A and B are shown apart, each in its own frame.
Chain A
């Protein structure tokens, strides 16, 4: 209480002093100028007011003096009260400091000192700054200075004080400066312990900061909405999510404005339903941001009642765009994975080695095993799907994995489906080692390799077949007299099968050469080679190209070669491949054959002429007959004319007969000339029956002369054959003459010769000459067609041999059909003339 009084006194005293010292002088009146009148008037007014004020100050001073007198009177009592106040000061539950203007502690109450862990004596006499943080000291100094500058004015601030043990004490300090008992200024400071409040505040701030951070991190904003007042509160994160300026006054309409147009109706409906029902709600919707991007939001809202009983919606809104995208991506990724697994027939799985069950199995794994998706499968079910032969091996897999303790491993097995189908599985897995260092799980893939397996088997079979085929062709090639060759795009030999050496052509000397460098007839037959090279230039296949070359030994050989071009996959010409054959023997044989034919033709002519000689009788007869008729008819003509009455009509008839017989004679001569002609062979379509008739005309006299009766059975309307008339006449004449000759010795039966013509089903004209003569012995039958074989004493033995050559040259064949006694049948067949056939 003493200090209060002292304070009051100190407060009044300065006023009194100032009132005394600042009172103006009472009079000073002079007027030098009329214009100074307003000034004087103003001065008088001010003086009156001033006097009044002075009067008032004087009255107050008297009051103060009286009060001072009263104080002095009560000084004794004052000392008692001061003692009381000191007690109160000392034991107040508030920390009090009294410091001087330098900040030295003049006094501190015990409570305060104790609160700081000191004894009062430890603080008094020391700078008050000691109990502040180093960093706060300038602030404290500044505050004390402020108090001193504004004496009597109270200042309040919050600051930390440091206890002796270093711990912090938050205080709210109220201070003001005042004059002390010795008229020295002191600063009185009262400190309220606000540590608890500060801690709460700090915790709250931290909590708020955490919340804000958590909201930012979780992209979750919070909001409140008092429906009744329309008051809306948004957290910082909510502003950020909706991309509104934090200074904006939030309203429910802002939410609607930002909502994606497609979701707006839903959002509105959700809110409008929740508000009247006062119910919680939760929804997802999209925002369409000003930049056109889309955000996915998830909002959870609770309906609560506040202290005033108003409905308030409090909620959290989370930006789940990333999660949505991730979810979509995940879903897409899962779909891709499932699709990929399905396409590749690869299922993935995870197997718990202790519990013996799938921890995870993909849809494709289910499909491979024939399980329903999500079906719970027992180890027995799984085992029942494994091929019994593979089961022991498969059961050993986890053990192997455990032994190996991780790493990748592969194994194969077969799955038997309930419908009896079998799948071949190739599995790749690895063991997962748990925290205990033991294998806990196997993770792997099952790939359906049934198709690949089947394809591989097919391929292997095809390869085996191919190998066999290749070997077969190799065998063929190496055992054949042909040899194989290959040339490059420049037509130089690149490859020659090894056994070419059999033909005397060593591969080593031929490789790298052109065909026309190998050949020896290049200069002799330029046209042939020109054409061959044109074929090669056109990259056309060629067949049976024949050229002459020399063997290693220098002997000429003829080579027949065929080849075809080959190309790579891009249709680039790579060269030719082909086959060659040594046809020297064939060529020689052909040459021999030609020589033989030439000789035979010569012989045929000789024989023909010989036959003519043999036919002289017949020929003379044939010519003499018409000549005889001509001469006779000529003379008859003369006879008719020489009559007394010439018979002109008889004469005319005679002349006509002459003419007819003349023609007949010339026809006979023509036929004989043709037979004797050594001309070119002329192949023309012929009727074999006509030839037979011509032959009969030539041999009639022979038949008559040998008393042979000729019978003919000629099929009408035979197809034409293509042949040389004279040669075929010769063949038939020969057969007829042979027949006549064979019957020369026959006395006991009629000599009969039969000529038959017919057609067979094979497209041949058939002609047979049958005699009833001595026949042909079995031995002779084999030899009658041999040249120079004859049973006749006068024969050359060329007849049948030449006949056979002629028939064969006509594409037919000549044979003996019947050879037993009595008689023999010679027959030949000739093909129909093609034009007739077609």
Chain B
């Protein structure tokens, strides 16, 4: 725990983005928010991100594409997907792609925190391994 974990939130819906940021900050996390996948990928924080919380449906590049893109480029940060329109096929695709959680909006805050902790543990473990 030399460096606190860095959480990236990628969602094109401003109020959702602000709300998650607000929740995580209230739990002491360090959070960065991004309007789109492209913005995140261009971000200097890309490398130090401990967990990505991404919306599935975004224009140009959705959450799943971002995950695929990052894996393709060797970034192993765990992913938590959130969506306002849960679709079983998308859920399956997301989980099989290695997502920690697939949360349907609206979700319980506790649920996100648990997923986040799991993800950070996994990331931490992954990183230590």
Within the complex, what minimum Cβ distance (angstroms) separates A487 from chain B? 73
Chain A's closest residue to B112 (CB) is A632
Interface string of A587-631 (1 = CB under 8 A from B): 000000000000000000000000000000100111111111111
- Given A621-B85, A628-B107, A661:B15 Cβ within 8 A: yes
B interface bracket (residues with beta carbon within 8 Å of A): 20 to 34
Please determine whether B19 and A657 come into contact, CB atoms closer than 8 angstroms.
yes
Q: Does B6 contact A (CB under 8 A)?
A: no
Please determine whether B105 and A627 come into contact, CB atoms closer than 8 angstroms.
yes
Within the complex, what minimum Cβ distance (angstroms) separates B22 from chain A? 4
Interface string of A620-655 (1 = CB under 8 A from B): 111111111111111111111011000100100110
Q: How far is the CA of A664 from the CA of B58 in the complex (A)?
A: 20
Q: How far is the CA of A625 from the CA of B58 in the complex (A)?
A: 13
Contact partner, B109, options A627, A639, A647, A701, Cβ 8 Å: A639
A-side contacts of B58, CB under 8 Å? 704
Q: Does A186 contact B (CB under 8 A)?
A: no
* Stretch among B23-31, B37-45, B121-129 lining the A interface: B23-31
Q: Does A179 contact B (CB under 8 A)?
A: no
- Which of B27, B58, B59 has the most chain A CB within a 10 Å cutoff? B59
Within the complex, what minimum Cβ distance (angstroms) separates B9 from chain A? 11
Please determine whether B59 and A704 come into contact, CB atoms closer than 8 angstroms.
yes
Q: Does A541 contact B (CB under 8 A)?
A: no
Please determine whether A628 and B84 come into contact, CB atoms closer than 8 angstroms.
yes
Contact partner, B13, options A620, A625, A643, Cβ 8 Å: A625
Q: How far is the CA of A582 from the CA of B104 in the complex (A)?
A: 67
Please determine whether B26 and A628 come into contact, CB atoms closer than 8 angstroms.
no
Q: Does B1 contact A (CB under 8 A)?
A: no
- Given A624-B105, A628-B82, A628-B105, A701:B57 Cβ within 8 A: yes
Within the complex, what minimum Cβ distance (angstroms) separates A634 from chain B? 8
B-side contacts of A624, CB under 8 Å? 84-85, 104-106
Contact partner, B22, options A653, A704, A709, Cβ 8 Å: A653
- Given A635-B110, A639-B23, A639-B26, A629:B85 Cβ within 8 A: no
Q: Does A77 contact B (CB under 8 A)?
A: no
A interface bracket (residues with beta carbon within 8 Å of B): 35 or more
Contact partner, B84, options A625, A653, A661, Cβ 8 Å: A625
Please determine whether B22 and A664 come into contact, CB atoms closer than 8 angstroms.
no
Contact partner, B15, options A629, A639, A703, A704, Cβ 8 Å: A629
Q: Does B16 contact A (CB under 8 A)?
A: yes
Within the complex, what minimum Cβ distance (angstroms) separates B21 from chain A? 9
Chain A, interface SS category: helix
Please determine whether B19 and A704 come into contact, CB atoms closer than 8 angstroms.
no
Interface string of A702-738 (1 = CB under 8 A from B): 0111010100000000000000000000000000000
Interface string of B93-114 (1 = CB under 8 A from A): 0000000000011111110100
Please determine whether B82 and A701 come into contact, CB atoms closer than 8 angstroms.
no
CB contact list, B11-69 vs A, under 8 A: 13, 15-16, 18-20, 22-23, 25-27, 57-60, 62
Please determine whether B105 and A636 come into contact, CB atoms closer than 8 angstroms.
no
B-side contacts of A650, CB under 8 Å? 22, 25-26
- Given A627-B105, A631-B108, A660-B15, A620:B23 Cβ within 8 A: no
Q: How far is the CA of A391 from the CA of B62 in the complex (A)?
A: 114
- Which of B59, B84, B108, B112 has the most chain A CB within a 10 Å cutoff? B84
- Which of B13, B19, B60 has the most chain A CB within a 10 Å cutoff? B19
- Given A621-B85, A624-B84, A643-B26, A629:B19 Cβ within 8 A: yes
Contact partner, A625, options B15, B22, B23, Cβ 8 Å: B15
Q: How far is the CA of A639 from the CA of B26 in the complex (A)?
A: 5
Q: How far is the CA of A643 from the CA of B108 in the complex (A)?
A: 19
- Which of B105, B108, B112 has the most chain A CB within a 10 Å cutoff? B105
Q: How far is the CA of A633 from the CA of B22 in the complex (A)?
A: 7
Chain A's closest residue to B87 (CB) is A617
Within the complex, what minimum Cβ distance (angstroms) separates B46 from chain A? 23
Please determine whether A621 and B84 come into contact, CB atoms closer than 8 angstroms.
yes
Chain B's closest residue to A651 (CB) is B26
CB contact list, A664-695 vs B, under 8 A: 664
Interface string of A91-120 (1 = CB under 8 A from B): 000000000000000000000000000000
A-side contacts of B62, CB under 8 Å? 704
Please determine whether A628 and B85 come into contact, CB atoms closer than 8 angstroms.
no
Interface string of A419-451 (1 = CB under 8 A from B): 000000000000000000000000000000000
Please determine whether B84 and A620 come into contact, CB atoms closer than 8 angstroms.
yes
Within the complex, what minimum Cβ distance (angstroms) separates B41 from chain A? 18
Please determine whether A629 and B26 come into contact, CB atoms closer than 8 angstroms.
no
Within the complex, what minimum Cβ distance (angstroms) separates A689 from chain B? 21
Q: How far is the CA of A640 from the CA of B20 in the complex (A)?
A: 13
Please determine whether A636 and B16 come into contact, CB atoms closer than 8 angstroms.
no
Within the complex, what minimum Cβ distance (angstroms) separates A197 from chain B? 170
Please determine whether A633 and B23 come into contact, CB atoms closer than 8 angstroms.
yes
A-side contacts of B15, CB under 8 Å? 625-626, 629, 657, 660-661, 664
Q: How far is the CA of A636 from the CA of B112 in the complex (A)?
A: 12
Please determine whether A705 and B19 come into contact, CB atoms closer than 8 angstroms.
no
Please determine whether B84 and A703 come into contact, CB atoms closer than 8 angstroms.
no
- Which of A621, A703, A707 has the most chain B CB within a 10 Å cutoff? A621
Q: How far is the CA of A703 from the CA of B57 in the complex (A)?
A: 10
Please determine whether A629 and B57 come into contact, CB atoms closer than 8 angstroms.
no
Chain B's closest residue to A621 (CB) is B84
B-side contacts of A632, CB under 8 Å? 16, 19-20, 22-23, 106-107, 109, 112
Q: How far is the CA of A643 from the CA of B60 in the complex (A)?
A: 39
Q: How far is the CA of A640 from the CA of B60 in the complex (A)?
A: 35
Contact partner, A630, options B27, B59, B106, B112, Cβ 8 Å: B106
- Which of A622, A635, A661 has the most chain B CB within a 10 Å cutoff? A635
Please determine whether A625 and B108 come into contact, CB atoms closer than 8 angstroms.
no
Q: How far is the CA of A822 from the CA of B100 in the complex (A)?
A: 42
Q: How far is the CA of A634 from the CA of B19 in the complex (A)?
A: 9
Q: How far is the CA of A635 from the CA of B59 in the complex (A)?
A: 28
Q: How far is the CA of A457 from the CA of B7 in the complex (A)?
A: 108
Within the complex, what minimum Cβ distance (angstroms) separates B28 from chain A? 9
A-side contacts of B18, CB under 8 Å? 629, 633, 657
Within the complex, what minimum Cβ distance (angstroms) separates B97 from chain A? 19
- Given A624-B104, A625-B84, A639-B27, A703:B20 Cβ within 8 A: no
Q: How far is the CA of A621 from the CA of B26 in the complex (A)?
A: 26
B-side contacts of A647, CB under 8 Å? 26
- Interface set of B (CB-CB < 8 Å, partner A): 13, 15-16, 18-20, 22-23, 25-27, 57-60, 62, 82, 84-85, 104-110, 112
- Top 5 closest pairs, chain A to chain B, by CB: A635-B109, A639-B26, A628-B105, A632-B19, A624-B84
A-B contact pairs, 10 of them (CB 8 A): A621-B84, A624-B104, A624-B106, A631-B107, A633-B23, A636-B25, A637-B26, A650-B22, A650-B25, A704-B58
Beyond A628-B107, A636-B109, A661-B19: 7 further Cβ-contacts under 8 Å?
A622-B84, A628-B84, A635-B23, A650-B22, A657-B15, A657-B19, A703-B59
